[in-house]
Amino acid sequence: MTTTAPSPYQVDAAGYYGPFGGAYVPEMLYPNVEELRNNYLKIIEDAEFQREFTQLLTDYVGRPTPLFLAQRLSAEIGTTIYLKREDLCHTGAHKINNTIGQILVAQRLGKRRIVAETGAGQHGVATATVCALMGLECIVYMGEVDIERQRPNVDRMRMLGAKVVPAKSGSRTLKDATNEAMRHWISNPTDTHYIIGSVVGPHPYPDMVARFQSVISAEIIRQLLHQTGRATPDFLLACVGGGSNAAGAFYHYLDEPSVRLVAAEAAGQGIDTGHSAATTALGKPGILHGASTILMQTADGQVTEPYSISAGLDYPGIGPQHAQLFATGRADFMSITDKQALDAAFQLSRLEGIIPALETAHALACLPLIGAKKDDVVVVCLSGRGDKDLATYTKHLEEYA
């Protein structure tokens, strides 16, 4: 699965994916970002780091996560569907693959405090968890709106000893929580590490987070080979908020053109309704949270407030690598509405006994739309479990009775 020529889809020496990426940060963040950039590869490639990372993923997170042949769903859709069960990770989503990696980096950089942003609360919980594990102080910024709709995760973070700070500016969701976390890092430049929760932000974050999440596709290769005799699926589906579960699932397949990569974005109430988070459908190139990428914005370059039923997809941008996958046509981006996501969540629950996260439900909703044939192998990254979304699902129970 490795290529010798540099991949057009991987980060280059300057920190870019084609025209996207870079580190567009004010000088106040420059030393922090530079410290990380100068050290992250050295740290990650160190054998002792790899040993500790792998051991924690195994003994603490519970990896490898299963690759499950979903037979009833396959029959219903008319293709062959495997679910990569990231929902079975400790804390209930793929987010912890990244936080384990980053807390080990933070320790090696001598940091004592951790700051993070969170949308659905899954990244916040995964950060609070590794901070408890390593005995580091943890501050999580979360939009006021998200604090309301993802209450169980707020309580989990508090239970784990983290301080949850409401972000009250702007749309009071993930974008604003990210702004506040960055401001916190600006004010605490020497002793604090910012554990960003997706493949967004200034270089080297998108690359570092993708590397930690790449364990997902490394396992898919092994498991698919074992179960089907082939290492490559025909289709690989994942939802994209910032894009970390997708980046991890796609990672080792980027240069395998036979694998069709499908990224599901949140259309919210519909891309033409003004209540949407479908970044590639509605956005343009620009700069957001320290990276050149594609983002939803006004003609005047003001960032638009996104909307999605799913807090983890309620973000006006995507990671720079995804912008490049979109611009080059390497991945297909699909817009999935709240309604389609709910349908898919109830379908999976009833057919397979798995309640998916609302974010994940957007990836599942692509299944009938991709034109997969009966014998095609389709892998869906089941990024997280739906316990945190039960309040939302409960409101719709009657409709699906």
Ligand X SMILES: Cc1ncc(COP(=O)(O)O)c(C=O)c1O
Footprint on this chain of ligand X (rule: CB under 6 A)? 93, 119-120, 122-123, 198, 239-245, 312-313, 357, 359-360, 383-384
Q: Where is 73: in which H helix or E strand?
A: helix 71-77
Q: Which positions are catalytic? A: 95, 117, 383
Instruction: Among 198, 223, 297, 392, indicate the residue that binds another protein (CB under 8 A).
Output: 297
| Contacted entry of ligand X, another protein, none for residue 245, CB cut-off 5 to 8 Å set by kind | ligand X
CA 17/CA 372 separation, integer angstroms: 29
| Contacted entry of ligand X, another protein, none for residue 182, CB cut-off 5 to 8 Å set by kind | another protein
Q: What 8-state DSSP symbol labels residue 370? A: S
Of residues 178, 165, 194, 330, the one with CA closest to residue 242:
178
CA angle 338, 146, 142 (to 5 degrees): 140
List of residues 6+ apart from 338 with CB closer than 8 A: 266, 267, 268, 269, 308, 309, 310
> Of 80 and 254, which has the nearer Cβ to ligand X?
254
Q: Is 18 exposed, middle or buried (0-12, 13-18, 19+ CB in 10 A)?
A: middle
| 240 is an interface residue for another protein by CB under 8 A | no
| 110 is an interface residue for another protein by CB under 8 A | no
123-161 burial string, b = 16+ CB within 10 Å, else e? bbbbbbbbbeeeebebbbbbbebbbebbeebbebbeebe
> Of 152 and 286, which has the nearer Cβ to another protein?
286
Residues 122-181 that bind another protein (CB under 8 A): 169-170, 175, 179
Write the binding mask 187 to 226 for another protein: x where contact by CB under 8 A, - elsewhere. Answer: xxxx------------------------------------
Identify the residue whose tokens are 């994942």: 238
| 284 is an interface residue for another protein by CB under 8 A | yes
The least CB distance from residue 183 to another protein, in Å, is 5
| Contacted entry of ligand X, another protein, none for residue 179, CB cut-off 5 to 8 Å set by kind | another protein
- Coil, strand or helix at 126: helix
Residues that bind another protein (CB under 8 A): 14, 22-28, 30-31, 169-170, 175, 179, 182-183, 186-190, 284, 286-290, 297, 299-303
